[in-house]
Structure 1
């Protein structure tokens, strides 16, 4: 009887400190929440299975930003053998909040669902569940976008390399085409030069032929003149004296 009274006294002291901290709506008075935590732990030293002490301790830890410690106490509150559905709904609801503040969205969603199983009409739990689900979807979409961003540089590098290869092939083709055109132009120039040389040679040969022909004609003319002279001149007779 004495222990029960002492236990309730500690819980009342803790609740008083907790309410004092809630009065300040501008800043969070963690000192008063710490004082409440101390009182709730004193109550649990008297009775470790006191559901109110465990649940209120979890609330004071949550207000101090000790989310993981708070989640452990909420889990302990849900695992006790004697809580009713309303108590379970409250513990699971705040467990969901602790996970939500730790950005453990999957755990938060599961806790809110368990809370609604025990109190399906609780509007605040429904709202928190929808918010957590929407937040999780946003994170998944963001993660998907990041994965795509990681894949895109690889694809961009592949496309860039492919474009470089195509540009290189095109440049090589242009160079080959230019070389071929240069070779064809050189061959054409050589052919024209050879043709011009042959024509010049042919022209020289004709000139030589004319000179030779003219020389032959001159020689023939001289020969004919000599022949004619020989015909005109009288032959000298040699007379022998007849002795």
Structure 2
């Protein structure tokens, strides 16, 4: 019993020491991790500064590389993405600038930063003559800063250019073609459903017809069986047999038999009468 108590006490002490060790490691790791993050943020800021200096010295490749390093070290910062987008815009690299401004607008949490990103994104769309996208970008910019006159002017210009340069006819044709294809497909699907329904109804009608034919055949078969059994108008009573030429009918046979019986009776009555008168009887002796 004492040994069991000692074992439990030892197990408890070990568990307590393990928890204490883990807590110490966590407590040590958190400041260390925070220290590393702070170091990375400082390095990202240094790369931003170096990139700006490289741009001022017209060293675009070096500036681009430093901006990329800053974005890698601090992906949550919209500043490096926005500045790199501005650098691309200055070099008329609209596709690259567009991507970075979009990233900056997505990452930014401050309305002022979002406004700048969407405003410059609209400018890149204007350079590419994508007026529909430009209108939407300027609208997003004004949602974050409704008081910016330059954005409002750019929006009006983008709308005017969109009215004068509507989407190419082929785009409209493609849309119409897609709509027509969808209608055709829906119509085909509807027709397939109707055909299946009609096929099912036709099968049911054929089955009903076959059943009706079977009933008719059975009825005609029963009729053929009854042809040798003539019936009178009253129902199941057999008809009287018709006389056949050259043969006596049952009635004629009956009348003839009655006549013969009558003749036979008359002859018998005559014989009986003669017996009663004492007629002579021939004897075997010759006297």
TM-score (norm 2): 0.43
Of residues 65, 68, 90, the one that matches 1:63 is 90
Matched residue, 1:88:
114
* Aligned partners of 1:33 and 1:63 also within 8 Å: no
Unaligned 5+ runs, structure 2: 1-37, 170-287
1:101 and 2:138 are equivalent in the alignment: no
The alpha-carbon deviation at position 34 of structure 1 amounts to 3.4
The alpha-carbon deviation at position 17 of structure 1 amounts to 2.8
Matched residue, 1:166:
none
Matched residue, 2:151:
125
1:134 and 2:160 are equivalent in the alignment: yes
1:2 and 2:39 are equivalent in the alignment: yes
SS at match of 1:87: helix
d(CA) in 2 for partners of 1:61, 1:13: 17
SS at match of 1:130: helix
Q: Identify if the C-alpha distance between structure 1 residues 142 and 78 changes in structure 2 by more than 3 Å, giving closer, same or farther.
A: closer
Q: Identify if the C-alpha distance between structure 1 residues 132 and 19 changes in structure 2 by more than 3 Å, giving closer, same or farther.
A: farther
Deviations 1:157-182 (A, max 9, x none): xxxxxxxxxxxxxxxxxxxxxxxxxx
Mapping of residues 131-170 of structure 1, within 5 Å: 131-140=157-166
SS at match of 2:166: helix
d(CA) in 1 for partners of 2:43, 2:167: 53
Matched residue, 1:240:
none
* Aligned partners of 1:85 and 1:119 also within 8 Å: yes
User: Would you tell me which structure has more helix in proportion to its own residues?
Assistant: 1
* Aligned partners of 1:11 and 1:40 also within 8 Å: yes
d(CA) in 2 for partners of 1:122, 1:75: 20
Instruction: Count matched residues.
Output: 132
d(CA) in 2 for partners of 1:83, 1:98: 22
TM-score (norm 1): 0.50
Q: Identify if the C-alpha distance between structure 1 residues 134 and 55 changes in structure 2 by more than 3 Å, giving closer, same or farther.
A: same
The alpha-carbon deviation at position 107 of structure 1 amounts to 0.3
d(CA) in 1 for partners of 2:92, 2:131: 17
Deviations 1:13-70 (A, max 9, x none): 112233455xxxxxxxxxx333322211111122222211111111111112211121
d(CA) in 2 for partners of 1:101, 1:33: 21
The alpha-carbon deviation at position 114 of structure 1 amounts to 0.5
The alpha-carbon deviation at position 111 of structure 1 amounts to 0.3
d(CA) in 1 for partners of 2:92, 2:167: 28
Deviations 1:175-197 (A, max 9, x none): xxxxxxxxxxxxxxxxxxxxxxx
d(CA) in 2 for partners of 1:65, 1:141: 24
SS at match of 2:104: helix
Unaligned 5+ runs, structure 1: 22-31, 144-243
* Aligned partners of 1:18 and 1:36 also within 8 Å: yes
